Amino acid sequence: KTKLSAHTQKSTCCYCGVGCGVVINKQKNGSITLEGDKTHPVNKGMLCSKGLNLHYTVNDKTDRLLHPQMRYSKSMPMQRVSWDDALARTAAVFKTFIQKYGPDSVAFYASGQCLTEEYYVVNKLMKGFIGSNNIDTNSRLCMSSAVAAYKIALGEDSVPVCYDDIELADCFYVTGANPAWCHPILWRRVEAHKAANPDVKIIVVDPRTTDTCGIADLHLQLNPGTDITLNHAIGRVLIENGDIDLDFITNHADGFEQYSRLVFERSLAEAAQICGVAEHDIRLAAQYIGQAKGFISMWTMGLNQSTIGVNKNLSLINLNLITGHIGKPGSGPLSLTGQPNAMGGREVGGLANLLPAHRNLANPLHRAEVQKFWGGTEIAAKPGLTATEMFEALNDGRLKAIWIMCTNPLASLPNVRLAEEALKKAKFVVVQEVSNKPETLAYADVILPAAAWAEKEGTMTNSERRISYLEKILDAPGEALPDSEIICRFAQKMGYKGFDFKNAAEIYAEHAKLTAKTTIDISGLSYEILKQQGTVQWPYKTKKAGAGSQRLFTDKRFYTENKNALISAVPDALNSELPDSNYPFILTTGRIRDQWHTMSKTGKVNKLNQHIKQAFLEINPLDAAQLGIREGEVTVITSRRGEVRVKAKLSAEIKQGVVFMPMHWGKILGNDLNRVNNLTNDAVDPISKEPDLKYCAVSVQKY
């Protein structure tokens, strides 16, 4: 452990799910500087551009919300009020709706950026005391397809691998992801491993040629939406070549026969034609995987954000299962978490269809167990409204009140103009926020100022199940409070017992106790151990040093009923909004290197804004020529839901027929014509309810 001076403390970067450690130096004037933590097992001192500039977002307090505000009716102006008044009135309004329309008339919409303790208390409040499962988070837009697929394939939402497997693998299959920009420090580790071991094979699957392709041995530039066809075709070649693990398939997996029959239904030539890639390249990908001693598949939103997101995930996990590359060093399916604590949220059951510690909402025994532990009301069996469903329910009046915390849905939801209409119609909107910038504030009846990163303590879990403790380093400005304290004060105003936690450590201790004897058991873990040992990976069952778990399923016993993994024969049919003569292009979306989500933090940093200054449309030069569009000219992009106007960026690195827009920009000075989610489709995967943010039909014209 690094010896820290009195003014130096440790934390974890609050952007992506890589979970890099930072060392923070507090200056005499109350500002901070920071650097990468050289002793941290994840980043070993490295930080990406976002992490390196994190202190600017903390030091710049010009956009901070400082006091609770409230309006007594929609026609009255917002006015500053005390915490007591804001929470008392909010509790009175919530009680009225619950009494009149039932508990399902209110909802909480939270975030993968909340700390685990914050997730825990809001989930407990909603499910255990208000009596509705209407608590969902923006992780629904991010990881819910991976969660569902892990449950189906492995029995539970459990990432089997650790980052140290990177240096032990000799083949990587990176699909639906651009980690060079979106998970940079993890990718630096892959790059360093490849540089030291040139024989390591890297396969990148993406309709665009991204920076991640820079070290690829093979780039499969597939047609958007054809991932399952491609994964099945690779599976077929692996079987044909005998590059499968028969012992694993026979003794530890179910479903192989059905899968094998399915993947042989399509010829390789047919699959290659559907995917728009060469047959030879599919064979080469299968050869690289087949010859690997350690094989890691890596993915993120390109697979998750789809109406067939769960099936895409399953078709990928199948490649690890049929080759037996799971539960051993250097191998396994590694879903890259978008947000810093999406996994912590999953641990506490912070989605509308989950219960704490991976318990099953549909199981009456599990519901009874949690109810008894919390001592509140009966936990409803019916899953709550998911992210997009909440806004549909506000629109049709089923939902009366929504409490939005730590997220900016009017930039991030698909078909966002519909979400905007929904907030206009909502009877009561609470917005719990750090910044005065998010568009949602315009619709708020109550605004609650929240403490930001470094102004509160708590824990987060990264993509490899690694839990880290984040110290409180600064006092929050004005009257801003930690999110968990706001929720606990509100719960007490509602008259509920069980929210009188003295500090975050007590919340964590309760959460840890509730995990006892489950597959994510962290009942041995406490703040003291995290402070002494640094970060640890769950499960962590005893108080013994080093009780964490680097990788899962080393005994090849999965969390399914019969302990076998499931190889799923999933169909490859695409049910997205297909291009037609009116909307002939496929629009796909994604991040850029130096911005984070809806830019409320990174947008404040000049250095980060220099990389790419405004939203743009990436289009193939041949498509642009046909439309008479030149580099830098303004284009009008229209879908069935709305339009945007941004400058064209001509690039041969995107396929013809496909266009790309970044996801970050929302309204700028009231103008929403940079906002890609005016265009995107709110159709969702039937199982994960994750929206089709990566695929919709659009037209493109010169302005």
Binding site for ligand SF4 (CB under 6 A): 13, 15-16, 18-20, 43, 47-48, 50-51, 183-185
Task: Give the nearer residue to ligand SF4 in terms of CB position, either 16 or 65.
Answer: 16
* Helix ranges (DSSP H) in 618-664: 621-627
CB 522, min distance to ligand SF4, A: 22
Task: Give the nearer residue to ligand SF4 in terms of CB position, either 47 or 122.
Answer: 47
CB 430, min distance to ligand SF4, A: 29
Instruction: Quote the CA–CA distance of 342 and 384 in Å, as a whole number.
Output: 18
CB 46, min distance to ligand SF4, A: 8
Task: Give the nearer residue to ligand SF4 in terms of CB position, either 43 or 535.
Answer: 43
Residue number with the smallest Cβ distance to ligand SF4: 51
Task: Give the nearer residue to ligand SF4 in terms of CB position, either 127 or 604.
Answer: 604
CB 663, min distance to ligand SF4, A: 16
CB 685, min distance to ligand SF4, A: 26
The backbone torsions φ and ψ at residue 671, rounded to the nearest 5 degrees and listed phi first, read: -95, 125
Task: Give the nearer residue to ligand SF4 in terms of CB position, either 19 or 409.
Answer: 19
CB 460, min distance to ligand SF4, A: 10
Task: Give the nearer residue to ligand SF4 in terms of CB position, either 32 or 379.
Answer: 32
Q: Can the peptide bond before residue 539 be classed as cis, meaning omega within 30 degrees of 0?
A: yes
Task: Give the nearer residue to ligand SF4 in terms of CB position, either 48 or 444.
Answer: 48
Among candidate residues 301, 304, 483, the one with its CA nearest the CA of residue 404? 483
CB 184, min distance to ligand SF4, A: 5
Q: Which helix (H) or strand (E) holds 299?
A: strand 295-299
Q: For residue 213, count other CB atoms closer than 10 A to its CB.
A: 18
Q: For residue 238, count other CB atoms closer than 10 A to its CB.
A: 22
Task: Give the nearer residue to ligand SF4 in terms of CB position, either 80 or 607.
Answer: 607
CB 58, min distance to ligand SF4, A: 14
Within 8 A by CB and 6+ apart from 703, the residues are 633, 634, 635, 636, 645
CB 23, CB 473: distance < 8 Å = no
Q: Which helix (H) or strand (E) holds 455?
A: none
CB 314, CB 299: distance < 8 Å = no
Kindly calculate the radius of gyration of the chain based on its CA atoms and give it in whole angstroms.
24
- What is the maximal distance between C-alpha atoms in the chain? 72
Within 8 A by CB and 6+ apart from 162, the residues are 464, 465, 466, 537, 550, 551
Within 8 A by CB and 6+ apart from 633, the residues are 647, 648, 702, 703
DSSP state of 556: S
Amino acid sitting at position 577: E
Task: Give the nearer residue to ligand SF4 in terms of CB position, either 182 or 314.
Answer: 182
CB 214, min distance to ligand SF4, A: 17
